[in-house]
Chain A
Amino acid sequence: MSKVAQRMETLKKRMRDDGNQTMMAKTAIEPRMEPSRHGGSEMNPLHGRLKFSELLSDPEVKTRWEKVRKYFFLRESTYDMSNRCNLRCDGCYYYEGEKQFAEENRDPEAWRALMQAEKARGITYVVLAGAEPSLVPELLKACFEEMPLGCIATNGVRRIDPSVGYKIHISVWGNDATSLRVRRADKLLDRQIENYRGDPRAVFVYTFTRENIGEAAEIADGLASAGCRFTFNVFSSPVGYSGPLRHDPSSLIRTREMMVKIMARHPGHVLYSPYGAAAHTHERGLHELYGCSYPRMNSSTEIGLGRSFRQFRTDLTWDRAAACCVPDTDCADCRHYAAGSAVVTARLYRHATDPRAFRSWLDYVDTYLAVWVMGYEKGENLCEEMVSPPGHAEIGKRS
């Protein structure tokens, strides 16, 4: 085993051994002030940043930092599993661009070999997506047997066998009338809830479009009353899309307000944070705010996603020029939850400047881990204020 693979195994083992002992943010630990090497709470004279050790001198912050950093070993790639889907939704990413024309490889052994090769190059987390993974259960099983950490993005119409222990993200795009119109699916939410009620793998993902903002509250109420956990996504237009789902500045503000309202109403069921709302409903997209780290927008192959991330098509090929978590999305309009999970998280340095920014970043990472990693439980948000992305004007003001 290579040193790299050895280290990944050690980190994963440590995560398992810890058993999420730090999962509750407000554990009873003794306050332990860690004086900085240069003493007191002096600011870095060069750049006005608070020292990292000072940010961590707050026990609540330190506990959360130690909780989330155990997962820094996650290295993701994504995989289109099938070119078929049992729904046909407006604004679907899969049926844009070239990838939809790739042939399907339906051989579980080929997928098993791919997973082994991925593991060997350091990948520790897989996202199984387009078009509809639940239609190829034998491939899901093969992947899970080789790579134990991951997530499946599904429309939830067909239940995925419980033996596949990945997180399952079930896409929700509005109420029944909207689902019928946009996804050509009748009583979709009822079917989704029926399939995944009480399933610890399930996270329902409500995608805010320009048209369905007002419906979100009733959907949230329905999901919460069924005991389902959910998070938010913001519709990000495929390249060339200018239809009615595309957001405008006004709909982004209304989305943010609705997110805040739902977070207040269902704190036990919604997996989100004020900073998530700030980052994903900002007038500027994620790339402009943070600099997207996926290969499609990042030419560096030195370290991070630019080096390791691949987006495999159904024929098991990949193309660096197209590789990102939501291929064929208009990068300037990208506010996608999956993109943010990597792009915002990667900007630790920019947030480790002052207590509010760092607490907000910790909330964001804590949320993303709860959404994406089996067994990880989200703590209470550490920052209830809506902090702006680093270097940008306050939310609602033009920077």
Chain B
Amino acid sequence: MPESKEIRERMIRIAEIIIEELKLEDITPKSFDPDMDLVDELGVDSMDLATVALVLQDEYGVFIDEDDYPKLKTVRLIAEYVQSRLQGRKDRDS
């Protein structure tokens, strides 16, 4: 299924947050591979992920459960997770 513009933009924004929070060098939001494994390939650890999760929580106003951190292994998975949380909130509100 082709990615929607919304998902693409969200992945770029998430990449931007990761780059900023983890102070990554030699990579830009647009060149960030959304399927790169953050743990295996980038060496992201639990404290890094907790930091990113707190910033994402602020950004999107969604709750990111501590137990879900292991699921957030790529930018794409994070974007999908945020999307599902936003959708869940929308469904509850409607």
Contacts and interface: CB of A to CB of B under 8 A. Distances in A.
A72 B45 contact: yes
A60 to B, nearest CB: 19
A51 B66 contact: no
A303 B51 contact: no
A350 B89 CA distance: 22
Chain B contact patch, size range = 20 to 34
A53 interface: yes
Interface in A290-317: 293, 300, 302-305, 307-308
Interface string B33-66: 0000001111111111111011101110111001
Interface in B51-94: 51, 53-55, 57-59, 61-63, 66, 69-70, 73, 89
A334 interface: no
Contacts of A300: 70
B92 to A, nearest CB: 10
A347 B25 CA distance: 27
B45 A304 contact: yes
Given A10-B25, A36-B58, A349 B45 contact: no
Given A37-B58, A349-B66, A303 B45 contact: yes
B60 to A, nearest CB: 9
A46 interface: yes
Interface string A29-59: 0000000111000001111000111000000
B11 to A, nearest CB: 19
14 contacts: A11-B23, A36-B58, A37-B59, A44-B57, A44-B61, A46-B63, A52-B57, A73-B45, A302-B73, A303-B49, A303-B69, A307-B39, A347-B66, A349-B50
Interface of A: 3-5, 7-8, 10-11, 14, 36-38, 44-47, 51-53, 69, 72-73, 75, 122, 293, 300, 302-305, 307-308, 345-350, 352
Interface of B: 23-25, 39-51, 53-55, 57-59, 61-63, 66, 69-70, 73, 89
